[in-house]
Structure 1
Amino acid sequence: MKFDAILMEPRRARMEAEGHWRGMTLLDYFEEKLAANPDRITLSAYTVADGACRNFTYRELDRLSDLAAVGLHRLGLGKDDVLSSQLPNGWEFVVLYLACRKLGVVFNPVMPIFREHELLFMLKHGEAKALVVPKLFRNFDHEAMADGMRPQLPDLKHVIVMGSGTENDFERLLLDPSFADEPDIERLTTEHRGDGNDVCQLIYTSGTTGEPKGVMHTANTMYSNLVPYGERLHLSADTQLLMASPMAHQTGFMYGLLLPVQLGARMILMDVWDKTLAAKLIAEEKISFTMASTPFLMDLTNAVEELGTDSSSLKIFLCAGTAIPGSLVERAGKVLGTRIISAWGMTENGAVTVVAPEDDPERSINTDGFVLPGMELQIRGTDGKPVPVGHEGELYVRGCSNFVGYLRRPEWNNTDAEGWFDTGDIARMDDRGYIRICGRSKDIIIRGAENIPVIEVESLLYKHPAIQQVAIVGYPDERLGERACAFVVPRPDKSFDFAEMTRFLKELHLAQQYFPERLEIRDKLPATASGKIQKFALRNLLKAEFEARAS
């Protein structure tokens, strides 16, 4: 695979000269900690279904990832090949990524919620050579889905299944103890690692283009974000870091895996979110930091209040993905005894703005933080020029943690000659440099920090024989920030209802999180003179309804 990382070279010299791109990779940080304290427990992986936990030291992770690297090599994977992983949070995910970096294999995490519709595009576009899945996860047979897709994926040579117990089993193919006897193991796990400017992650994000975009990152782009992020929040090797957000999402990947390795902190992983277990783990493991979206914060606050567990060790809950209701910040701070921190970022650049722990709590209610070192912000008006303080405009960012391009879609990079990336968000900045995200110029809905690819879902619904017109818009929700509502105009003499919509989207194998959660049938939709649907009018209608209920 050849990666067209065209956004790297124009800024490389400057980023290195200014000290933002230090050339340190995950393995550099990992081997530092391994040499200093090989028998320190660095990973605790919990499975919610049975409450079981497995602990791993640096030495154990190093040994297991060596075995996995040998296993992948014997399957024919090498430098710049793409491996896709649909694994949930767990020790297998961590071992697999370490093994990929030892071989120079590019890691493509994909969300466990994805089904054939999303996966066929991603695996084909990324030319994935191997796919790693759980046999069953949340009662869904991922192995059967993967096997069913193989005829349509000519580049996919191997499906590796966690828990299959058969010849394609994860442990059989990747963790055979005899692999330790590989005579060339040291050369094999060091020769093709690459450096901080090699593409090491390919991660897909939903947007407005009608197809997912393959975001390419290097160790330099990700760690130039993580180092100042940890410094802003005063995180250290003593931090006990809980991660329940999926590691197949950038939040879980960067801040649940890469960050603790860089800090030398202990990562405590949950394979699925469970508020009761999370509350107990905070008490028992003395968790001091976690990062998740608003629904997680709300759930955890309720659990601690109901159970009466001790959450005094939790110094910071960083909440990102959508604005945090002021009432929740106040209640969570009181119940949990923790500092609620707001932030803003994207898959393309990590967390760009973060509130500092020493800031007044109102900063997390009314702002999304101020920019991290190495990044710059600019808010532009419709004329393309910067707007005055306090005025809304389109948010542009540039700097060290910006991605290095969309795979095979350079025309979508949204980055100008001076390196400014158009985020698609509308924001304003106050006189202290704090920003507030006010909306989105791109047609996307964020449901509990998960992007809903509106155009894609609309395109699928237009295939239904009963639908003449459809428009999907977001509507306010106290817990998730937004939910999706489909406004549908049926064809003459045709009927359509919510059950049929759900059945149809399931038949097309769309991830269930992308299904509209509400359906409104209309005779016509508001439109301009040229016939373009006025989605703002539909949003305003739903917003007014929400506000009327709340008053």
Structure 2
Amino acid sequence: MNITEQLSVTAKEHPQKNAYVFQDSTTSYMELEGMVSKFASSLHDLGYRKGDHIALAVGNSPYYVIAMYGALRIGAIVIPINPMYMPSELGYILKNGDVKGIITMDILMEKFEGIADQLLNVEHYIVCDTGSSKSFAESSLALKMKSFTELTKAGSMNVDLPEMDDEDTAIILYTSGTTGKPKGAMLSHKNIYSNAKDTADYLSINGDDCVVAALPMFHVFCLTVSLNAPLMNGGTVLIMPKFSPQEIFRVTSDQKATIFAGVPTMYNYLLQSAEGHTDDFAGIRLCISGGSSMPVALLKNFEEKFNVRISEGYGLSEASPVTCFNPLDRPRKPGSIGQNILNVENKVMNEFGEEAAVGEVGELAVRGPNVMKGYYKLDEETDMALRGGWLYTGDMARMDNEGYFYIVDRKKDMILVGGYNVYPREVEEVLYGHPGVEEAAVIGAPHPETGESVVCFVVPKDPALKEVVLHEFCEAHLAKYKVPSRIEFMEELPKNTTGKVLRKSLRDKVNQ
């Protein structure tokens, strides 16, 4: 069984039930199933077959749901991409991912026009209409462009589907690595299906639930928890184009939402905007938090204000993503990521690859049907991450005597900005691309709204180099959340005897 087959089953069992609500318009499971089948048929007619790679650079919308399920139905491999990425970031993933077709929005076509000469293997740009008045008749890519809406209308309900194995790759999620280049985590149909089912079962997500999908759908947290899990059991997805506290309150009240999933930053904004809106969350039975650790004070204040329970969990792209959640039928421990979800095992490993004692800090490792096949075209990195049947997460953790896990620190130097991963090397490579930069080091600093912010330390070649110049340079090459909030100039970076930059010294400098 895979998620597209499950959608067909649910549509037969509950044809008139609402699958999703978008901008106050409802779509039934039968209608969704029809659009998915027709889009799959049109992709097949365009020449797409099992194993072809299709990129999906689309914001939260029905387009995303139909496109992903439709592509998976014909056995294509979907590569979700953050639509906020700059052209250089898009270009790397599209080339490295051997993408044959791109599904995107009309307002993003200028980005692809700028890098089209790097994407000669891309055969089609399937464009989703957002109401933009821009004409593409004169576009350099006009001959390769197809209308998403027209393809969905023209498709047939009948398409010859290929035989698919549970181990066939379904999705490649690009996640940044310490090398600065994103790595494509290959997730199989079994990975995606099992984690959606096990998460839904663990959190009792059922056909009576209306789940708010305000997290970005290109992110695996939303993909599994807010989209696939509710669709697995006949629930309704409330698709939010973007996060807005006022719109969240309106939709949760109007649509009688029962579950909200978000990152701590979202909860902070909702709490700050709570005046006059506490009753809007009256129907919410469960809030789910992930992406980064939630401050205990925020968790308690939110729960008291809205009279709702927050269950913190943990996951990573390589695990589809969920491995832990605080259980609903037992005490929730603030500060903990919870316990093993169904069919998934977590362990804390010491430096010898043995299970650490209770309370001892070590690297968190995961085993289960949700663990990726490996990294696309990166055998060495795959062997480093997957050892002895376990996925080593790179996060340092401990476990208490009741089986609750706690993230102590990140083994890698990842920075979490509003739930988005930013790796220092990625930003550093951009800075090194500026002719006025001799050396650069990037760290994360505490931030009251986003959890962390990106701080850069630069040794300039020219003392006249200005912060505003480097800031503008970063804006031109990085997604907004990766752009440094602060750049400091130094005569030299602190280093150890081997020449390695002492990031701890830089963090101490920021926290003084």
TM bucket (normalised to shorter chain) is over 0.9
Deviation track 1:374-400 (CA, whole Å, cap 9, x = no partner) reads 222222333443332112112222222
Aligned-residue offset at 1:64: 1.5
Summarize the Cα distance change of 1:409–1:132 in structure 2 as closer, same or farther, 3 Å threshold: same
Q: Which residue pairs with 1:248 in the alignment?
A: 218
> Which residue in the other structure is 1:8 paired with?
none
Partner in structure 2 of residue 64 of structure 1 = 35
Alignment of 1:216-227 (within 5 A): 216-227=186-197
* Equivalent position amino acid for 1:196 in 2: D
- What secondary structure, in the 3-state scheme, does the structure 2 residue paired with 1:486 have? strand
Counterpart position of 1:394: 363
Which letter does structure 2 place at the counterpart of 1:240? C
Question: Pairwise CA RMSD of aligned residues?
Answer: 1.8
Partner of 1:37: 14
Choose from 344, 349, 355 the match for 1:380.
Answer: 349
Indicate the residue corresponding to 2:486 in structure 1: 518
CA contact (8 A) 1:425 1:442 kept: yes
Contact 2:185 2:375 in 1 (8 A): yes
Task: Specify the alignment match of 1:151 in structure 2.
Answer: 117
The amino acid of 1:439's aligned partner reads D
**Percent same amino acid among aligned pairs?**
26
Query: Which residue does the alignment assign to 1:121?
Result: 92
Tell me the equivalent position of 2:497. 529
- Measured in 2, the distance between the counterparts of 1:498 and 1:244 equals 34
Pair 61,441 (structure 1): closer, same or farther in 2 beyond 3 Å: same
Contact 1:207/1:451, CA 8 A, preserved across alignment: no
Q: Secondary structure at the match of 2:115?
A: helix
Q: CA separation in 2, counterparts of 1:65 and 1:225?
A: 22
Shift of 1:517: 1.1
1:417 positional shift: 4.7
Higher relative contact order (CA 8 A, sep 6+): 1
Letter in structure 1 aligned against 2:151 = L
State how far apart, in whole Å, the 1-side matches of 2:342 and 2:37 are: 35
Distance verdict in 2 for CA 1:488–1:198, change over 3 Å:
same
- Which of 122, 128, 133 is residue 162 of structure 1 equivalent to? 128
- State the secondary structure of the residue aligned to 1:99: helix
Name the CA distance, whole Å, in 2 between partners of 1:271 and 1:285. 16
Structure 1 length-normalised TM? 0.87
Q: Is the 8 A contact 1:444 1:454 kept in 2?
A: yes
One-letter amino acid matched to 2:363? E
Judged with a 3 Å threshold, the aligned counterparts in structure 2 of structure 1 residues 416 and 86 are, in CA distance, closer, same or farther, namely closer
Listed one character per residue, the Cα deviations across residues 435-468 of structure 1 (whole Å, up to 9, x for unaligned) are 1111111122111221113212101211222222
- Cα displacement (A) at 1:179: 3.3
Cα deviation 1:243-274 (Å, max 9, x = unaligned)? 11111110121122211111110011111111
Distance, in Å, in 2 between the alignment partners of 1:108 and 1:504 is 28
Which residue does the alignment assign to 1:201?
A: 171
Matches within 5 A, 1:477-516: 477-491=447-461, 493-507=462-476, 509-516=477-484
Aligned to 1:343: 313
Aligned to 1:179: 155
C-alpha separation between the residues in 1 aligned to 2:370 and 2:486? 37
SS of the counterpart of 1:209?
A: coil
| Secondary structure of the corresponding residue to residue 375 of structure 2 | coil
SS at match of 1:196: coil
Residue of structure 2 in register with 1:548 after alignment = none
d(CA) in 2 for partners of 1:519, 1:536: 17
Pairs within 5 Å for 1:81-92 = 81-92=52-63
Which stretch shifts more, 277-286 or 297-306? Answer: 297-306
Query: Which of these residues, 257, 268, 273, is aligned with residue 303 of structure 1?
Result: 273
Q: Determine if contact 1:244/1:292 at 8 Å carries over to the other structure.
A: yes
Look up the SS of the partner of 1:69 in the other structure: helix
1:230 matches 2:231? no
Quick one: which of 63, 73, 80 aligns to 2:51? 80
Partners in 2 of 1:158 and 1:279 — Cα distance? Answer: 39
Aligned to 2:139: none
CA distance in 2, matches of 1:332, 1:193: 48
- Partners of 2:390 and 2:155 in 1: how far apart? 47
Whichever residue aligns with residue 289 of structure 2, its letter is C
Contact 1:217–1:403, Cα closer than 8 Å, also in 2: yes
- State the alpha-carbon separation in 1 of the partners of residues 371 and 155 from structure 2: 38
- Aligned residue pair count: 499
Q: Is 2:64 the partner of 1:93?
A: yes
